[in-house]
Amino acid sequence: MKIKNIVFILLLTFNFSVFAQQKMSQTEISTFKTNLIEANKKIKSLTADFVQYKHMDFLSKDIESSGNFYLSVTNELLWKYNKPEAMSILFKNKKMHTKSNGKTSTVDLSKNKKFEQLNNFIVGSYTANFLNEKDFTISYFKDGATKIVKLTPKQKDLTKYIKSVELFFKSNEYILSEVKLIEPSDDYTKIIFKNKVENAKINPSVFSL
């Protein structure tokens, strides 16, 4: 194949990928927000498996982790990493507790805005609290049947840690399927949720390290 034809195909592919994502209309936004709020009223807890990708420009390959996810809308959230090594991160009572290699530590979330916001976005996506436009500029997009909510922080203290956050909702689902936290450097953390189960009975001991 001639180089000219290859370049044409690459440009065509690039243009298609750029324009595949479209802005939602006001009617679509209104319907999506209403359905999301109504759906989340029914969610009391959630369990899922997750795969996390940490992308940094200076690395040739993303750092991949995986594990289990437990959420209670009483504001308890546990990330239980199984690979590449065992580690638990628990958000509870406005604190972040970590356990690794048998050792535990606790951090006040008010002193770590990045983790505080990640916790708020995840929990907020199941209570629709992230729809508050006081703190964020919110844009709504669609890519096929997938709905994408993009949040850009307005507060200067947040922009030091977060450039934007993208929340993905597949098809007609109103449970978060993917979150992408983009840093000012354009490095990002992407988390994909799988095997989600709503209102699963979670033993309270799960939220204890």
Task: Give the DSSP per-residue string, the chain.
Answer: --HHHHHHHHHHHHHHHHHTSEEPPHHHHHHHHHHHHHHHTT-SEEEEEEEEEEE-TTSSS-EEEEEEEEEETTTEEEEEEEESS-EEEEEETTEEEEEETTEEEEEEGGG-HHHHHHHHHHHHHTTTGGG-TTTEEEEEEEETTEEEEEEEE-SHHHHTT-SEEEEEE-TT--S--EEEEE-TTS-EEEEEEEEEEET----GGGG--
Residue-wise pLDDT for 134-175, tens only, equals 778 999 999 999 999 998 988 787 788 889 989 999 988 888
Domain boundaries, the chain: 22-207
Fold annotation for 22-207: outer membrane lipoprotein receptor (LolB), chain A (2.50.20)
Average pLDDT over residues 42-64: 93
Band of pLDDT at residue 194, cut at 50, 70 and 90: very high
Average pLDDT over residues 111-132: 69
What pLDDT sits at residue 96?
87
Residue-wise pLDDT for 20-49, tens only, equals 679 999 999 999 989 988 888 888 899 999
pTM (two decimals): 0.81
